[in-house]
Amino acid sequence: MTSIAHPPGIAPANDPASPPFGAFAPTRAQAAILSLARRSRLKRGAFRPMLSALVHRLRAGPVDVQYQGASFRFYHQVSATERGALFNPDYNLEELDFLRSRTPIGGVFVDVGANVGTYAMVLARHVGASGKVIAIEPHPVTHARLAFNRAASGYTQVHLVAAAAGPSDGELMIETDGDNLGASHIVAGDRPGNAIKVPSLRL
């Protein structure tokens, strides 16, 4: 299995020693940078890697914040999705509004490739306690972060599936970019050096 490097002294999200939500609340300096980015053009994609490096330099590790009404621990240094949601409060807002407009309160939403839950948790808040969100995420590190964010948000209506969606039950290979966990994708043929085997389930 591909190992994921974490900053010294920072437990990965799937480590049982991982501290509770709020332990990595932004410092005063980090909060100032986030506030500036969120209300200016600095929230755009071209600036986010630079801002992420600066926030990381101020304190290594993830940042615990609210995004679209849910609680997230964002590992912004190794995920473009988490970086986007951390610095841009309107990240993927058009898609989220579209999904909310077509998912009834009390309804069911299925998120295939849920990543850390930036769609699943937002839709869970929308459908409410009487609804259901099924979040499917195969990568073990990303899935652990998804599970953490569900627990931090308190959304019991989110049901997690630690597998890939495939044509049949079994196993398949996914390849991941170590610098962007959200870019994982299914691969076939010879196993690349950074690929891992994960269970697959037929929807």
The Cα 85–Cα 119 span in angstroms is 11
Q: What is the mean pLDDT of residues 150-157?
A: 98
The 10s digit of each residue's pLDDT in 83-119 is 999 999 999 999 999 999 999 999 999 999 999 999 9
The token pair at 122 is 């937002």
- pLDDT tops 80 at residue 129: yes
**pTM of the predicted model over 0.85:** yes
Q: What is the H or E stretch that residue 184 is in?
A: strand 180-187
Task: Count other Cβ atoms within 10 Å, centred on residue 64.
Answer: 20
Distances (CA, A) of 180 to 32, 76, 200: 25, 9, 22
The residues facing 195 across adjacent strands are 175
Does an H or E element contain 175, and which?
strand 170-177
The residue among 30, 38, 112, 36 whose CA lies nearest residue 77 is 30
Q: Are strands 195-202 and 170-177 parallel, antiparallel or unpaired?
A: antiparallel
The order of strands in the sheet holding 158-161 is 108-112, 132-136, 158-161
Supply the pLDDT for residue 172. 87
CATH of the domain spanning 28-202: 3.40.50
